[in-house]
Amino acid sequence: RQQLSQITKFSTLHPRPEGHKYAYGTAGFRLLGSLLDSVVFRVGLLAALRSRKLDGETIGVMITASHNPPDDNGVKLIDPQGEMLEASWETYATMFANAETDDELTKEYLAVAEALKINLDSPSNVVFARDTRASGPALVAALKDGLQAAAADYADYRILTTPQLHYIVKCINTGKTVTPYGDPSEQGYFDKLSTAFKIVTKGKAKPPTVTVDAANGVGGPKLKELARCIGSDYLDINIVKNEIDAVERLNFQCGADFVKTQQKLPVGLEPAPFELYASLDGDADRIVFYYVDEANKFHLLDGDKIASLAATFIRDLIAVSGVDLQVGVVQTAYANGSSSKYLTDILKVPITVTPTGVKHLHHAAQLFDVGVYFEANGHGTVLFSNSSMKTLESFEAQNPGQQDAVTTLLSLAALINQTVGDALSDLLLVIAILSHKAWGPNEWNLTYTDLPNRLVRVVVKDRTAFKTDDAERRLVEPKGLQVHIDALVKKYKSGRSFVRASGTEDAVRVYAEAATRLEADELAVKVSDLLK
């Protein structure tokens, strides 16, 4: 068939580097940009097949390496409702990427089509975008070759944040339904968020200026445009680390990952006490907040703090409105113990704990009427179920107070990117809540005090030997190790520690928390020593 010979022909232009083993992990394929040409070409083929399997629904392909260094790049697929690629297809992605020859690749393409009864002559639609990395344009060219070889129709959305592309994919696929998600364009995204933000903050004092570290990535110019759409009467944003042309500075000594893992300010930032600061990552799907006090001490407001702020606010609005809906929070083992305790004991909000990886959190959050999920590193969002939306839309308020609360809830559902964690949407959400509460970062931080914690990366001979259960909180293999961890943890007040294999790096991670900084560090070191 013509398509198959095209694939073999185009594939010769994108040879697979010898000896490299690829794997589609929790963040798609991610490695040095120079090793990705053949992978991205092959992802193009897979995206075309995926769309055909779903009757021509539009699939997204995002080229980014998020918080990783500038020379890295990556590629991941977005399913029709803006979710991550369905897990069973990750295997095909890995298989295509590792095919040894052009012929083998073509055979696998045909084999997948046959196994899944995909008609190769049926329509196929794909949209794609990339972040600001230097290797992006060449990888886009490889992707286009893949899409062309597989005879897919495609649209190039050029430079976007990851969550913007998720939004656009969902808009396209819901465009002809009774509940379209929005206009499938970047302007549509800005309009939806800015309109919602203005409704949510209507009648409240103008929020104080927020300084945002954009990690020298795509989030900077996009946030600038979003703020312009909102207007300076409603919002003041000061963007720093916004040199997208200095490609080598992407995520360098700044950005959400740096601030969260180093637990310190972006290099060069000179903060004023008690003012609000935030850092985005390289593709603007993560955000953390922070401030310094009068003694210049740094205080981090991470994903756990965002989750509890959002859960409290939404729970209170639901109570005022009189609507019968339940808010739940989804966390991972990395959530600070104090945050879990605060949610359970003080807020009385139910918590689900899932393994690391956004798709697990997202699915668990879908089981609540309103599900708030955040990884401690600042990736997360809030999901309103379809039935909650219907309940809110048809609710007949008995008084203006109830009406106000319902209007705010509905506007929050529009302000929050429901497809995936979105730093720009989360930024507006936090600002809106703080302005409702007339809080600064210090008041927000005082809701509970984080236990000191330490995350250590340990390189081991074989990380696959580390198997866990109980949402990664307990080791089942290597056998016997968990008993020793338990014995250590018992010696520390408020001690907690767990060990798991990283899904994105060849290492295991040790997390420890305890009542004091000294003890948390000591526990982390002692548990790490058990692994040697």
Report, in Å, the least distance between residue 67 CB and ligand NG1.
7
CB 93 within 8 A of CB 77: yes
Q: In the stretch 282-321, what mask flags binding to Zn ion with x, by CB under 5 A?
A: -x-x------------------------------------
Q: What is the C-alpha to C-alpha distance for residues 33 and 509, in angstroms, rounded to an integer?
A: 25
User: Residues 66, 135, 338, 425: which is the catalytic one?
Assistant: 66
Choice from 71, 183, 275, 505 touching ligand NG1 (CB under 6 A): 505
Residues 155-174 binding ligand NG1 (CB under 6 A) are none
Tokens read off for 155: 């649209």
Residue 285 binding target from Zn ion, ligand NG1, none, CB below 5 to 8 Å by type? Zn ion
Asked if residue 375 binds Zn ion (CB under 5 A), the reply is no
Helix axes 37-53, 87-98, angle to 10 degrees: 140
Residues 269-288 binding Zn ion (CB under 5 A) are 281, 283, 285
C-alpha distance from residue 328 to each of 30, 286, 324, 365 (Å): 32, 21, 13, 7
Tokens read off for 496: 């907690």
Closer residue to ligand NG1, CB minimum distance, 75 or 118? 75
Residue 503 binding target from ligand NG1, Zn ion, none, CB below 5 to 8 Å by type? ligand NG1
Closer residue to ligand NG1, CB minimum distance, 144 or 260? 260
Asked if residue 375 binds ligand NG1 (CB under 6 A), the reply is yes
Closer residue to Zn ion, CB minimum distance, 74 or 146? 74
Closer residue to ligand NG1, CB minimum distance, 183 or 505? 505
Report, in Å, the least distance between residue 199 CB and ligand NG1.
31
CB 316 within 8 A of CB 307: no
Closer residue to Zn ion, CB minimum distance, 128 or 368? 128
The amino acid sitting at 424 is L
Q: What is the C-alpha to C-alpha distance for residues 157 and 243, in angstroms, rounded to an integer?
A: 21
Q: CA nearest 109: which of 133, 129, 93, 85? A: 93
Residue 38 binding target from Zn ion, ligand NG1, none, CB below 5 to 8 Å by type? none
Strand pairing category for 153-159 and 125-130? parallel
Helix axes 303-321, 400-415, angle to 10 degrees: 150
Asked if residue 379 binds ligand NG1 (CB under 6 A), the reply is yes
Closer residue to Zn ion, CB minimum distance, 74 or 184? 74
CB 8 within 8 A of CB 25: no
Residue 27 binding target from Zn ion, ligand NG1, none, CB below 5 to 8 Å by type? ligand NG1
Residue 356 binding target from Zn ion, ligand NG1, none, CB below 5 to 8 Å by type? ligand NG1
**H-assigned helices in 14-101:** 37-53, 87-98
Dihedral sign computed on CA atoms, order 310, 311, 316, 319: positive
How many residues interact with ligand NG1 (rule CB under 6 A)?
12
Q: What is the C-alpha to C-alpha distance for residues 83 and 64, in angstroms, rounded to an integer?
A: 16
Q: What is the C-alpha to C-alpha distance for residues 350 and 331, in angstroms, rounded to an integer?
A: 11
Stretch that binds ligand NG1, among 182-190, 199-207, 262-270, 501-509 (CB under 6 A): 501-509
Residues 124, 126, 129, CA angle at the centre, nearest 5°? 170
Report, in Å, the least distance between residue 516 CB and Zn ion.
32
Stretch that binds ligand NG1, among 39-47, 101-109, 398-406, 498-506 (CB under 6 A): 498-506
Residues 225-254 binding Zn ion (CB under 5 A) are none
Residue 66 bears catalytic tag: yes
Asked if residue 66 binds Zn ion (CB under 5 A), the reply is yes
Residues 399-458 binding ligand NG1 (CB under 6 A) are none
Bridge partner residues of 477 (DSSP)? 467
Report, in Å, the least distance between residue 213 CB and Zn ion.
14
Q: What is the C-alpha to C-alpha distance for residues 238 and 312, in angstroms, rounded to an integer?
A: 27
Report, in Å, the least distance between residue 426 CB and Zn ion.
12
Helix axes 136-149, 2-11, angle to 10 degrees: 160
The amino acid sitting at 520 is A
The amino acid sitting at 22 is Y
Closer residue to ligand NG1, CB minimum distance, 318 or 420? 420
Q: CA nearest 286: which of 9, 19, 441, 68? A: 68
Report, in Å, the least distance between residue 286 CB and Zn ion.
5
Instruction: Identify whether 478 is preceded by a cis peptide bond (ω within 30 of 0).
Output: yes
CB 500 within 8 A of CB 508: yes
Asked if residue 334 binds ligand NG1 (CB under 6 A), the reply is yes
Report, in Å, the least distance between residue 161 CB and Zn ion.
9
Token pair 């083929």 is found at 45
Tokens read off for 38: 């053949």
Choice from 504, 521, 530, 531 touching ligand NG1 (CB under 6 A): 504
Asked if residue 356 binds ligand NG1 (CB under 6 A), the reply is yes
Dihedral sign computed on CA atoms, order 132, 136, 141, 142: negative
Stretch that binds ligand NG1, among 99-107, 170-178, 373-381, 401-409 (CB under 6 A): 373-381
Residues in contact with Zn ion by CB under 5 A are 66, 281, 283, 285
Residues that are catalytic:
66
- Under the rule (CB under 6 A), what is the footprint of ligand NG1? 26-27, 334, 356, 375, 377, 379, 502-505, 509
